[in-house]
Amino acid sequence: MALAGNRVAEDVASGVIVGTVKTTDPDVGEIFSYMPLHLIHARP
């Protein structure tokens, strides 16, 4: 897993993309998904 563009400028507008996450796996056909922690903890 790699994170690029992981710095956020002060007073950046809401909704602006601030970074990208890339995952690679030697196993062909693998699927990855991500969810922000605040959404995981909000689940009932």
Residues 14-25 pLDDT 10s:
888 888 888 888
C-beta of residue 38 within 8 angstroms of C-beta of residue 19: no
Give the model confidence (pLDDT) of 23-33 as tens digits: 888 888 888 88
Q: What whole-number distance in Å separates Cα of residue 28 and Cα of residue 33?
A: 16
pTM: 0.42
| Amino acid letter for position 4 | A
Side-chain-side CA neighbours of 35 within 13 Å: the count stands at 7
The per-residue pLDDT for 38 is 75
Residue of 1, 33, 17 whose CA lies nearest to 9? 17
Q: Cβ(19)–Cβ(3) under 8 Å?
A: yes
